[in-house]
Structure 1
Amino acid sequence: MARRPPTFAASAFTRAYQRSLKALTNATLRSGTRIAGEVTRAAAKQLKPPRGPGDWLSGMAIGPGGARRYHLYRPPDIQPSERLPLLVMLHGCGQTGRDFAVSTRMNLLAARERFFVLYPEQDRLAHPQGCWNWYDRRSGKADAEAATLMSALDQACTLYPVDRERVAVAGLSAGASMAALLATRYPVRFKAVAMHSGVAPGAARSPATALGAMRGRHVPPMPATAVGKAMGAAAVFTTLPPLLVLHGDADVVVSASNAGSTAEVWATATGAKPGAERTLQRGKRHAMRVTEFKRGGRTFVMLCEVAGLGHAWSGGAPRLPFSDAAGPSATRLIWAFAAKQFKVAAAV
């Protein structure tokens, strides 16, 4: 039997290679189209306003830490003469501002109680998991990012009828720790701060110490002479705003011991003393242990430890990541705490 010429074998190989290349190209194009579609849908979802009345406004602020997007919730029917309070809400790792708004349902409360809500959003180029760089103070990144967030706050106060004397900040996880950093670096700008499942202020100053801090190590020293240095506070005692601490005792991401450490540090810095612990429970929701730290009859720290709550927003929307519908409503607790501090500050 005669052997086929080498040119025939080469031609067959070329045709087979071209068929494979064509199939691979088509598969890649289909995959690329699918991925592009998913990206487009995800982007459209982030632009879609959360449920409820009012406006979902987009913006961008530029500061020492670079540019950061934000959304601002504006309640409906604002009158020309009105100036409303503002609550800054800082999301946790793996979340966006919209995710945080949907989980907490803060906009629905803001529509009823009439206040603005600002949702800054971390850039994935600044942190791949979308975490705020609250811990990276040794390099200066944390302070630069905090300054950028203040730029977003200033922009909101300039563009919208915000009452600058009624501003509070709250956050979850990394957002809680960044909220504490903002309050210690810019204490006179906030009348209240709320930390939900965050790390004790001053417990980390670099990426290397952040993980240990989340596990409850590196707790800052408690003597009053060392508190300011540990927290990195611009001022202590009379200038720090009152603090609400919320934490679940079943949190395996950020050790629950951070809650007590946070309350102690802040109480020491404000000269507040703890009162008796009391337990509160509403219906079948998780029980909550509450301790208030007071000075001169005023509460400067309120510690709320929620039984059975993991690393999630207490009382958040059901079936969402980092959200536990069975807990007492952190959304209501935070706003009630902030509103009370606004009244107290106005009376001083």
Structure 2
Amino acid sequence: MIDATMSKRMEEATRLTRAGKLQEAMALLQGGVPEARQEEAPDNAYRGGQTFDGTCQVIDEEEPIIKPASEASASQPGHARQTGMGTFTSGHFSNHAGARDYKLYIPSGYHGQALPLVVMLHGCTQNPDDFAAGTNMNRLAEEQLCCVLYPAQPMTANHSKCWNWFKAEDQQREGGEPAIIAGMTRQIIESHRLDASRVYVAGLSAGAAMATTLAMTYPDLFAAVGIHSGLPHGVAQSLPDALGAMQGGTGPLGGGKAKGASWASDVPAIIFHGDRDTTVHPSNAERVAAQYRTSRRAGAAVEKGKVANGHGYTCTTYPNAKGEPLLEQWQIHGAGHAWSGGSTQGSYTDPKGPNASKEMLRFFLQHRQIGS
């Protein structure tokens, strides 16, 4: 029986979730005190209004994304920021579904050739600069020659800057946030003449949940997906649903009755999750994998290892009939809710590895769009 204190806590958690404050709600349910946030929406955050079909522009006036203090001095307002490698450009995209700012990393070796594109979706409270710094994906993209697109979720869309993976209107093709991100991706591919057969999407937490939604709804666009500390597609249609899923849900995904059980994708997937994650329950990794396993065959390979002075891990690879790896599931032993192998220059990172960015990019570049 729920006592009065717990009842009041649940009521407050519901209020917080309705306000989009998922992390604060989780902290409250776990016995913590939600941290007060004094953030205000940036002046250039998208606030709705009229949008146009597929318009994309580079911002010339001012960088629209607030950078971490450690990077602020490196930016020159009014221009693409030189990273010492390639360029990190600010832009804005709008279509029938809405509009978002973004950052685009272009490696120094780009001279108009058809490079791959990796779309990176940040987690709650993060922004593109923070996520780029924490994942080190730009450095890897410089070395392996690919572009990296970082869509930005403004506080006007979600108070905690979470992608709204838990809303029914943001779980469909050609509607809501998936349509915005897919449209932005297509526009960048076209404007920079990138390789449409090598387009990938990855994310952390809420960004990972949106990444798997994109793999489910746009399998013709994304050749592979990376899901770090995420949740399955379609398991929530409301904020209370989201909290339940984040805590582990009430049963296994399957049987055709659980939310999300009917969804499946043949898009190759690589999944990372810490087994000490207290924000998104580790059981969600298995539920995510279940949505990608429908056409997988027996013969999974299991590898156990340990990073020097870091975490141990178990990597399970599921091949197709040809022996090609179509699903990799990485369980990081002792890790919490953080990007594995990330840099302390960004938030929600765990430098003790293994390096999720490196492994994701390796996995991605093994795959091309089906039929290409």
C-alpha separation in 2, matches of 1:295 and 1:228: 27
What is the TM-score when the length of structure 1 is the normalising length?
0.79
**Pairwise CA distance, 1:60:** 1.2
Aligned residue type for 2:105 = Y
8 Å CA contact retained: 2:126, 2:161: yes
Aligned-partner SS, 1:255 = coil
Q: Find the counterpart in structure 2 of residue 295 from structure 1.
A: 320
**Pairwise CA distance, 1:89:** 0.2
CA distance 1:135–1:288, shift in 2 (3 Å): same
Aligned-partner SS, 1:293 = strand
Which structure 1 segments of 5+ residues have no match? 1-34
For 1:324, which of 346, 350, 360 is the aligned residue?
350
For 2:273, which of 226, 230, 247 is the aligned residue?
247
C-alpha separation in 2, matches of 1:345 and 1:153: 18
The correspondence of residues 1-348 of structure 1 with structure 2, limited to 5 A, is 45=67, 48=75, 49=81, 51-80=83-112, 82-137=113-168, 140-143=169-172, 144-217=176-249, 221-223=253-255, 226=256, 230=260, 233=263, 236=264, 240-268=266-294, 270-273=295-298, 275-296=300-321, 297-318=323-344, 320-342=346-368
Aligned-partner SS, 2:293 = helix
**Pairwise CA distance, 1:222:** 2.5
1:93-140 deviation per Cα after TM superposition (whole angstroms, max 9, x unaligned): 010011100111100110110000000000211100000001101xx1
8 Å CA contact retained: 1:213, 1:219: no
CA distance 1:293–1:286, shift in 2 (3 Å): same
**Pairwise CA distance, 1:219:** 5.4
Aligned residue type for 2:300 = G
C-alpha separation in 2, matches of 1:150 and 1:293: 27
What is the TM-score when the length of structure 2 is the normalising length?
0.74
8 Å CA contact retained: 1:92, 1:172: yes
Aligned residue type for 1:45 = K
C-alpha separation in 2, matches of 1:43 and 1:325: 25
1:125-164 deviation per Cα after TM superposition (whole angstroms, max 9, x unaligned): 1100000001101xx1443111011111011112112100
C-alpha separation in 1, matches of 2:360 and 2:82: 20
Report the identity percentage: 35
Larger Rg: 1
Aligned-partner SS, 1:340 = coil
The CA RMSD over aligned residues, in Å, is 2.8
C-alpha separation in 2, matches of 1:166 and 1:305: 26
Aligned residue type for 2:260 = A
CA distance 1:149–1:231, shift in 2 (3 Å): farther
Which structure 2 segments of 5+ residues have no match? 1-38, 44-61, 76-80
C-alpha separation in 2, matches of 1:52 and 1:205: 43
1:139-194 deviation per Cα after TM superposition (whole angstroms, max 9, x unaligned): x1443111011111011112112100100100000000000000100111111101
Aligned-partner SS, 1:193 = strand
8 Å CA contact retained: 1:286, 1:326: yes
**Pairwise CA distance, 1:295:** 2.6
C-alpha separation in 1, matches of 2:235 and 2:298: 22
Q: Find the counterpart in structure 2 of residue 30 from structure 1.
A: none
8 Å CA contact retained: 2:301, 2:318: no
8 Å CA contact retained: 2:318, 2:328: yes
8 Å CA contact retained: 1:172, 1:195: yes
CA distance 1:50–1:305, shift in 2 (3 Å): farther
CA distance 1:51–1:41, shift in 2 (3 Å): closer
Aligned-partner SS, 2:220 = helix
